[in-house]
Structure 1
Amino acid sequence: MTSHTHQTASTQYVEAKGIRFAYRRFGKTGGVPLVFNIHFTGTTDHWDPAVTDGFARDREVILFNNAGISSSSGEVPESIEEMAANAAGFIKALGLAQVDVLGFSMGGLIAQELALAEPQLVRRLILVGTGPRSGEAMVSLTPEAQDIFGASYAEPDHLWLRVHFSPSEASQAAGRKFLQRFRLRSENRDPEANEKVAPAQLAALAKWGTPRENPYDYLKALTQPTLVVNGDNDVIIYSINSWILQQNIPNAQLILYPDANHGSLYQYPERFVKHVTQFLSESGQDA
């Protein structure tokens, strides 16, 4: 067990594919590590410590910035497939033969591609607040997302109250607690993503969301046991997309949390950690 936590883990670097990847690694060593893939414009510091430290009690946690994000070098690719290839290069550069992969929002698209391209590398898959290729309203940001990201906020962090939480009093209260945890790490935080990141990521999202024939057939090749998680009213990537994932991935189960928007894992961190830990610990489904 490392003595470090989300708050104290140092930023390390590893070279792969000509990119210097920044990452943090902490938790209980010896098992299959859990690699996190973050959302649109997010960095390692956009994860909730209640989630990362919750998992770190039982397993090793690896957070990283993909190419061109924050403290990692390189350019942000304009395709999800290239982002996934970079993620695979990063994981292999750490000398890991097998990992579990968690992808949140855009990170969930990368996680799908990673699992498809590297089936021996990815043991189990957790897809949170995300969707399939050509999913419902995924060719561009949803109208709600455009409104949320286009608005101005007295405090920049308040953006996340609208992105991740529903308008209800209970959800917004959970959001304010999340923001307190979000800022717990005050030293050596990752720089925010620069102005080149969002346009490149939006271009990749547009290609992913473009309508095509039989768009969900690719999901049949995702043979890993998969847990799909979302809020019951996600306005960033509509919740119906989580249902589509579960219906088309051969070995998938779905959890929807009540009165929850895009960041259901941040609204119910203890419940989320418990459900995912149970899923990762199950036996008999890997054959």
Structure 2
Amino acid sequence: MASSTRIEVGEGGVPLVLLMHFRGNLDYWDPALIDALAEGRRVIAFDNTGVGGSSGITPSTVAQMALDAIAFLDALDLAQADILGFSLGSFVAQEIALIRPALVRRLVLASAAPQGAPGMHGWAKWVIDSVGEPEVVPAKVLDVFYTQSPESRTAGEKAFGRMFSRAEFDAPTTWQTRQAQYDAVSTWGIPNFSLLERVTAIQAPVFIANGDSDPMILPRYSHLLAGLIPDAEIKIYPDAGHGFLFQHHEEFAGDVKRFLDRA
């Protein structure tokens, strides 16, 4: 398999593996969230094939991304893990749970939608224009990840400050990664009602979360997903866009830890 860059913090318990959003590398995980999640457990974040500092070519399907992630976990000799997937990472997390059910103990899906949901075929033009151009403009990313309220925008600026204050940085994602990942996102969103049934086979307990104003993965898709997966839990965080888990990092981390630690 391709060599993968990763970060590991914390120790103890079943490892929690993090799967990143569209165009994101390790730098885009908020250290405040990582530190909160790592209290009492091992947390692993990594660049999947072709992303950031990892070798190989980024695949253009969610299914192959899931197989690559499984290969990474196999290389770490992880027989079981908790999985937290964010945005595109939540699509990959669903596939991992379907391809290898025994690997996934519990599943956290942040800003998530099921495959085949009508209206999910690509993002609104202003959204992809904001996050999909060759040069990433932080102000435009803030418009997608946070709301226009002073509280949300300030939280976003603070999160950006935490993300990009590290001593060492990951390799930036390439245009090939951008194109392949958006192909995967668009294919995932081709309307197909029969594909919605797939997630009913997920066996692991599932916690679904989103922001109430997420313009990338509208909250209704997270509600749809929660309705399809047996006994799934869902929480919608207020005054929050796509970056709700960074804006509400303390609350979200607490909710995740309670879900993972539940008997």
Q: Distance in 2 between matches of 1:64 and 1:188?
A: 15
Q: Secondary structure at the match of 1:108?
A: helix
Quick check: 1:224–1:251 contact (8 Å CA) kept in 2?
no
Aligned to 1:170: 151
Change (3 A) 1:212 1:60: same
Give 1:63's match in structure 2, choosing from 45, 65, 69: 45
- Give CA-to-partner distance per residue, 1:237-287, whole Å, 9 cap, x none: 11111001100001210000011111110110000010000000111xxxx
Q: Distance in 2 between matches of 1:144 and 1:239?
A: 18
Q: Secondary structure at the match of 2:49?
A: coil
Change (3 A) 1:42 1:150: closer
Q: Distance in 1 between matches of 2:194 and 2:207?
A: 23
Give 2:9's match in structure 1, choosing from 23, 26, 39: 26
Deviation at 1:188, TM superposition (A): 2.1
Matches within 5 A, 1:2-13: none
| Number of residue pairs matched by the alignment | 263
Relative contact order (alpha carbons < 8 A, sep ≥ 6): 1 or 2 greater? Answer: 2
**Match of 1:201, as an amino acid?**
Q
Q: Distance in 2 between matches of 1:53 and 1:43?
A: 17
Aligned to 1:211: 191
Q: Secondary structure at the match of 2:33?
A: helix
The answer to whether 1:222 aligns with 2:228 is no
Q: Distance in 2 between matches of 1:97 and 1:150?
A: 36
Give 2:226's match in structure 1, choosing from 206, 231, 246: 246
Structure 2: runs of 5 or more not aligned: none
**Match of 2:179, as an amino acid?**
P
Deviation at 1:44, TM superposition (A): 1.0
Scaled by the length of structure 1, the TM-score of the pair is 0.88
Q: Distance in 1 between matches of 2:126 and 2:234?
A: 24
Scaled by the length of structure 2, the TM-score of the pair is 0.96
Q: Distance in 2 between matches of 1:260 and 1:207?
A: 26
Higher helix share goes to which structure? 2
Deviation at 1:78, TM superposition (A): 1.0
Q: Distance in 1 between matches of 2:196 and 2:133?
A: 33
**Match of 2:259, as an amino acid?**
F
Aligned to 2:252: 272
Matches within 5 A, 1:100-249: 100-149=82-131, 156-185=137-166, 187-249=167-229
Q: Distance in 1 between matches of 2:78 and 2:183?
A: 31
